[in-house]
Chains A and B, each alone.
Chain A
Amino acid sequence: MGGLEGLAHGFSIAITAANLLWAFVGCLLGTAVGVLPGVGPAVTIALLLPLTTQLEPTSALIMFCGVYYGAMYGGSTTSILLNTPGESASIATSLEGNAMAKRGRAGPALATAAIGSFVAGTIATILVTLVAPPIAEWGLSFGPAEKFSLIVLAFMTISAVLGQSALRGFASLFFGLFLGLIGTDAMSGQIRFAMGIQELYDGIDVVVVAVGLFAIGETLFVASHDRRAVETVERIKGSLWMSAEDFKRSVGPWLRGTAIGFPFGTMPAGGAEIPTFLSYATEKRLNKGPDKFGEGAIEGVAGPEAANNASVTAALIPLLTLGLPTSATAAIILTGFQQYGIQPGPLLFTTQADLVWALIASLYIGNVMLLVLNLPMAGVWARLLTIPRPMLYAGIVVFATISAYGMRNSWFDLFLLAFFGLVGYAMKRWDIPVAPCLVAMILGPRADTELRRALQISQSDFSVFFTRPISAALLAIALALVVVPAAMRWRASRRARANAPTA
C-alpha cells in the first residue's frame, strides 16, 4: 500500500468512535503527565500496559502514542509557568519561556509553544507518511545478520551519543543487557541467571524496571536533594493569543526547529533533549528580534517546542519500519506491540497495514486534539501545578507500587520495584543515563536471537556480519560512533591538560 492510499484507509479506521475516544484519552493523559513534574511519558505508558489485555491493539497503540507526543505539548506549560521543567525535553523551553512569563507574557509563550508543537507535529507526520513505506520496503531485504548489526548500531548510538560519558552509557547498556538475559532463553529454552527464584523464570518485567528506574528513582532523588526548591507558578495574565508580530517572529523558529528535531528523532540518540538545545542555540545565534535571549525572547520558545515534537513523531519511523526504539518511551511502546504478539518491523506494513495506517492517521487527529486541549485550556492545566509536592509524589509512588503488585500479587515484584528505584536514584545522582539500560533490556534478547539465527544460516561462519554489505556498513558506523568521539575527546583532554594543569 502506498503512502496516500494507506493513509486514506487509516483514517477510515482511526475515525471510528472508539479509536477517537482512545486517541483523546491518550492526548489528555499525555498532556497531564507532561505538565506534572516527576512522571513522564515512559512511566505513564508502562503503567498503562495492562490495558493491552482489555483493548484491541489499534486502540491501545493509538492511545500510547497520544501519551507520547501529548507529553511534549504539556511539558511546555510547566517549563513556561514554573521555574522547573516538567520533563527533560522541555528544559530548553524553560530558559526563555519562564523569562517571558515573569514579564507577563505567559500567554504568547504558551501560544507559540502549542502552535509550534502543532506545526512541527503535523509536518513530521506528513514526512512519516511519505518516508516510512519505502524504508519498510528496504528493511524487507534484511536477514538476521542485518537485523543483528542494526541493533548493535542502535546500542552504540544510544550509549555513546547520549549523556556526558560514553563509558557510563555503556555501563547502563550492559546492565540492561544483563537484565534482558535473566529468565528463559527463547532459542534453547534454558533458564539463565534465575538463581532458583521461580519469579525470575519468566524474566524481569520491563514495567517494573521502567517504573522503578524513572518514577521511584526520581521520587527518591527529588525528596532528598531538592527540598528547598521554592516553586512559584507564574500567573497567565492578559490574552492567550499572540500578536501579529509574535506570529511573524515564531514562524522561522518553528520551521527550523522542525528541521532540526526530525532527523534526531529517527536516530537512536535517546530522545528529544539534544535537538531542543540545538534549536535553542540556533535561534540564539540568529536572533535579531527586539528581545535579548535570557530576557524572554519568543524565538527561544518557538524553536525548541517545535524541535521536540518533530523529534518524537520522527521516532515512529525507526520504531514502525525497523522495530528499533530510539528512546526510552519508544522502547516501552515497542513492549506494547509485543504484548499483542506483534513485532514492529518491515513486515508490519504488509501484515498489519490496518494498524500502522490507523496509527499514522491518528497522529494527524491527535495533533488537532492537542492544539485544542492545550491552547484555550492552558489555565486549567496550570492548576495541576498547584498540587502540593508531598501529595503528588506520594500518589505517584502508590500508583507505581500497585502496578507492580497487580501483575502477580507477589511481594517479590514490590521488592524488585524498590530495588530498581534505588538503582534509578544512584544512576540519576551519579550521572548514569537510564535510556540505554531500558533499550538494551528490550532489544538485547532479540539481538541474541538474531545473532544465533544468522550463525545457523551461515553454518557458524562469523564472517557473515562483515561480508554482507548492509551489515558491514552498519557495524562500521557503529564502530566509528564509539571510536571517533573517544579519540577526539582524548586529544582534546590532552590539549586541555597541557594548557591548564589544574584539572
Chain B
Amino acid sequence: MASRERNGAEIAISAAVVALALFVFEQLSSIPADGGYSAVGPRFAPMIVGVGLLAIGLLLLRQALTGGWRDMAPAPDEPLHGPSFAWIAGGLALQMAIIGVVGFTVASTLLFAAVARGFGSRRPLHDAIVGAIVAIAVFLFFTRVLGLSLPSSPIRII
C-alpha cells in the first residue's frame, strides 16, 4: 500500500548513499597519496567523506527498515502521476539526444512542448509555436546579452 511504496523508495535512497560511499572507497586507491609537505594529502578528504557517507547511509537504511525515516514532512496530496513525469524526463532526454544534430532552436521547441504536455496542455501546435518563440528569445538573450556561444539551428530561423 501507500506506506510500503514509500518505504521502498526510502530503502533505495539509503542504499544509494551506501553505494556512493563504497564507490568513494573504491576510487581512493587510484588517488596518489603524495601529500607534498602536508601530513594529509589529496586522499584525506575523500576518506572522511567516504566514512561519513557510509555512516549516514547505514543509519538511513536502519530507519527505513524499522518503520521508515523519522520526522518526515507529510507526503504530497497527490500520488506520483507517471505520465507527467515521463513527458518531462523524456523531453529532457530527447533534447540531449538531438541538440547536436538539429541545433538548439528545434530541440528546445520540442522540449518546451513536451514539458507543457507534462503539465496537462493538450494543444501541441500552440505549445510548439510558443516554444519556438521562447527558444529564439532565450537564444538571443544568451548570445547577445550573456555572450555565450550556442550552435545555431541548421534550419536558419534566426
Q: Is B59 an interface residue (CB 8 A)?
A: yes
Query: Which chain B residue shows the least CB distance to A221?
Result: B76
Contact B115 A167 (CB under 8 A): no
Residues of B within 8 A of A195 (CB): 27
Given contacts A181-B46, A223-B119, A394-B127, contact A228 B78 (CB under 8 A): yes
Q: Is A491 an interface residue (CB 8 A)?
A: no
Given contacts A185-B42, A226-B76, contact A402 B138 (CB under 8 A): yes
B36-74 vs A, CB cutoff 8 Å, 1 = contact: the mask equals: 111111101110010011001101100100000111110
Interface of B is mostly: helix
Query: What is the minimal beta-carbon distance from B108 to any residue of chain A, in angstroms?
Result: 5
Interface size on B, residues (CB 8 A): 81
Contact B92 A421 (CB under 8 A): yes
How far apart sit A389 and B118, CA to CA, in the bound complex (Å)?
11
Contact of A448 among B45, B116, B146 (CB under 8 A): B45
How far apart sit A430 and B69, CA to CA, in the bound complex (Å)?
9
Residues of B within 8 A of A177 (CB): 45, 49, 52
Residues of B within 8 A of A193 (CB): 24, 27, 46
Contact B37 A175 (CB under 8 A): no
How far apart sit A455 and B36, CA to CA, in the bound complex (Å)?
12
Contact B147 A50 (CB under 8 A): yes
A216-227 vs B, CB cutoff 8 Å, 1 = contact: the mask equals: 100111111111
Q: Which of A174, A185, A401, A456 has the most CB of B within 10 A?
A: A174
Q: Which of A48, A54, A219, A397 has the most CB of B within 10 A?
A: A397
Given contacts A188-B34, A391-B116, A448-B45, contact A411 B142 (CB under 8 A): no
Taking A178-B49, A221-B76 as given, write out 4 further A-B residue pairs in contact, using a Cβ cutoff of 8 Å, ordered by the A residue number.
A394-B115, A397-B112, A406-B142, A406-B150
A-B contact pairs, 15 of them (CB 8 A): A165-B70, A167-B59, A178-B20, A190-B42, A192-B27, A193-B27, A220-B85, A222-B119, A390-B118, A393-B116, A394-B127, A397-B91, A414-B95, A448-B44, A455-B38
Give residues in A with beta carbon < 8 Å to B. Answer: 48, 50-51, 53-54, 164-165, 167-168, 170-171, 174-175, 177-178, 181, 185, 187-188, 190, 192-193, 195, 216, 219-228, 388-391, 393-395, 397-399, 401-403, 405-407, 409, 411, 414-415, 417-418, 421-422, 426, 429-432, 444, 447-448, 451-453, 455-456, 459-460
The 4 closest A-B pairs by CB, nearest first: A460-B39, A406-B148, A390-B119, A390-B116
